[in-house]
Amino acid sequence: MSRIGKLPIQIPSGVTITVGDASITVVGPKGQLEVPKLPLTNVAQEETAIIVTRKDDERQSRAQHGLQRALLNNAVDGVVKGFEKKLEVNGVGFRVNGGGQEIEMSLGFSHPVKYTAKPGVSLTVEKMSITVSGIDKQLVGQVAAEIRELKKPEPYKGKGIKYADEVIIRKAGKAGK
């Protein structure tokens, strides 16, 4: 039995979950999310919990069991608390401006780089840090990865865009005579 899949998902007050044939709708105080219903799993709703079970003990069913529970749990957490990722911009002359849906960055190129976030994600800029926030965990992570991809941190001076909790392993420069 999947250790993650067998755990029940507690439904907080203010959250309603509707189980359909092809998708599961989670509505909460921060918004609404749709989670696809995987074909080899069953989703049952009790009074204050959701229980995910699998139809058989095949390999694909076991894989989908934990995945379905994790997707549902992330949707419930998203509509209640939301998710955020923090990015830091390091480098001499690097600048970040804007907020909301669009930011403009000077990253050492000959032109400013503009990034427009996908709907459902908001960007907040404070000095040299960018906070990506939203209710969909996958979308927040995807936007943060796309911003980081614009100027990855390099290993010699650590210049670039990195996650706030990321550790850049530094390399030694040229060995002088």
| Plot region of 60 (φ>0 → left; ψ -120 to 50 → alpha; else → beta) | alpha
Domains 9-80 and 83-163 share a fold: yes
Q: What per-residue confidence (pLDDT) applies to 78?
A: 95
* Tens digit of each residue's pLDDT (9 = 90 or more) over 109-162: 999 999 999 999 999 999 999 999 999 999 999 999 999 999 999 999 989 999
Query: How far is the C-alpha of 49 from the C-alpha of 33, rounded, in Å?
Result: 18
* Tens digit of each residue's pLDDT (9 = 90 or more) over 1-30: 678 888 999 999 999 999 999 999 999 999
Question: How many beta carbons lie within 10 A of that of residue 101, not counting itself?
Answer: 13
Q: What per-residue confidence (pLDDT) applies to 4?
A: 84
What CATH number labels 9-80?
3.90.930.12
Closest by CA position to 115, among listed 137, 99, 93: 99
Fold of the domain built from segment(s) 83-163? Outer Surface Protein A; domain 3 (3.90.930)
pLDDT range class, residue 47, cuts 50, 70, 90: confident
Quick check: helix, strand or coil at residue 12? Answer: coil
Q: Where are the domains of the chain?
A: 9-80, 83-163
